[in-house]
Chain A
Amino acid sequence: METNFKHHQSAHCENGVASNLLKHSGLHISEPMVFGIGSGLFFVYLPFIKVNHAPAISYRPLPGQIFNKLAKRLGLKIKRTKFASVANANKALDQNLKDNIPTGLQVGVYNLSYFPDEYRFHFNAHNLVVYGKTETDYLISDPVMETVTTLTHDELEKVRFAKGAFAPRGQMYYPVNVPTVVDFSSAIIKAIKNTCRDMLAPAPIIGVRGIRFVAKQIRKWPIKHGTKKANHYLAQMVRMQEEIGTGGGGFRFIYAAFLQEAAAILNNEKLKYLSLEMTQIGDLWRDFAVDASRIYKNRSTQADAYNTVANQLSHIADLEEAFFKKLKAAIS
């Protein structure tokens, strides 16, 4: 069986699944709109949690939050179900496909056989859509892939019940009620306010303060942990920043694209200029990644390489602080 689902590639998995499922339900919404209205831009530094033997840095909110916030702000209804038993999880998914409902799933990346090996690590906040089933396979629309793909029944079961942090527990979700007319303007304003609040939060590990905190830590890494571990930490940070499905530098460009769309909808010229500014900040994140990668490839000729990238990062934090203050003022 197969639903008439249309695959569109996206930069980030959760945006992509949300945008593709909503398009299927008749609501045309771009990936940047999903990302912006779902307040997808975020930063949190969790030094006490280790991912791949390095401190955890996340450039996004908790899995599921983007779609949930989007739904709340646009007045959509999404049904989400987690399962204790594998059999029930399979049954519920098959029933959905029988009812012609393409279904979003939260999955672990490690057993996604269609990913190149180097992308397969224990990361459980990936999202994809199942749009059909054959004798042997499930038909998969993974939004970060160019085209649709498949997983065997066993493989899908494995990724749905991956273990570790954010274990998906078979979670599936799909829109059940999508109004034909939605109020984008008020949703955009609420979402921008939310993002400004997050990024300017008074907590030391969140938003621009979190970025500044990481910059400070980077200076200490080589002294405290030695070059080898410090290099590993830095490489992990860039991986988290630029990896598919997680994003960071790339998130700035998606957010800039959102502000451009929002400027037209709200008829607000200021957002257009701010979009340009966000693009420039995104470029600085990419410069940071370039210079950091030189360090861990040991090609850096600068004696004080760690301090240089730390300076770049704290400069980004300053620019983002000023940016989000201006953004907040632009919509109030």
Chain B
Amino acid sequence: MKEMKKNEVPQDEGNLSKSNMKELMYATDENGEYTTALSTGWEPKTIALSNSIDDINERVAEAKLQVKNGEASPIVYFMEVHKMDVGILASYVEMWKWRVKKHFKPKVFKGLSDTVLNRYAKAFSISVSELKNFKAE
């Protein structure tokens, strides 16, 4: 059987953002004693991360299309951009989930007051007019 050896700590160059971020890992030295080593990345993890980024991009594109077709309000689009789900968004805007879901409908969205819109705008770090006037093109 093999063991995690210090000189086998993965040094994958495929780090997604090329951020030079190195992670500390525990590994054994030539005498079997535990020590630490820095790792630049590991392929399975890089693939998992890029898979989840693809997933987010797909969700964003899908939301954009729905806004364009008048099937969803801009809230849905910005929620996806910020990697949120209904539960997370609801806790940021301090509303019930069912209420947030209602605001996903373009018709309901049009009737929302600036006070309510402001809560969403704050959660997405944008202005109310940016939220109101979002055009999916």
Spell out A's residues near B (CB within 8 Å): 9-11, 32, 50, 52-53, 110, 115-122, 144-146, 163-165, 167, 231-232, 235-236, 238-239, 242-244, 250, 253-254, 256-257, 260-261, 275-276, 279-280, 282-283, 286, 289-290, 292-293, 296-297
Contacts and interface: CB of A to CB of B under 8 A. Distances in A.
Given A256-B34, A296-B51, 14 more contacts: A116-B21, A118-B16, A122-B84, A144-B24, A146-B21, A164-B92, A235-B55, A238-B44, A239-B52, A253-B25, A253-B26, A289-B44, A293-B45, A297-B47
Closest 6 CB pairs of A and B: A293-B44, A257-B34, A116-B19, A163-B91, A116-B17, A253-B26
Contact of A282 (B4, B33, B55): B4
A256 B34 CA distance: 8
B85 interface: yes
B52 A250 contact: no
Given A122-B88, A260-B33, A290-B44, A250 B26 contact: yes
B22 A146 contact: yes
B131 interface: no
A118 B17 contact: yes
A110 B48 contact: no
Nearest to B83: A121
B70 interface: no
Interface in B16-47: 16-17, 19, 21-28, 32-34, 36, 38, 42-45, 47
A31 to B, nearest CB: 8
A270 to B, nearest CB: 16
A116, A231, A260, A280: which has the most chain B beta carbons within 10 Å?
Answer: A116
B48 A293 contact: yes
Main secondary structure of the interface of A (DSSP, over half): helix
B126 interface: no
Contact of B49 (A239, A260, A292): A239
B48 A235 contact: yes
A260 B55 contact: no
A242 B22 contact: no
A231 B51 contact: yes
Interface of B: 1-4, 15-17, 19, 21-28, 32-34, 36, 38, 42-45, 47-53, 55, 82-85, 87-88, 91-92
A28 to B, nearest CB: 16
Given A121-B83, A146-B38, A167-B91, A279 B51 contact: no
A232 to B, nearest CB: 6
A242 B26 contact: no
A293 B44 CA distance: 5
Contacts of A282: 4
B91 A239 contact: no
Contacts of A116: 15-17, 19, 21
B24 A279 contact: no
Given A116-B17, A243-B45, A244-B23, A50 B34 contact: no
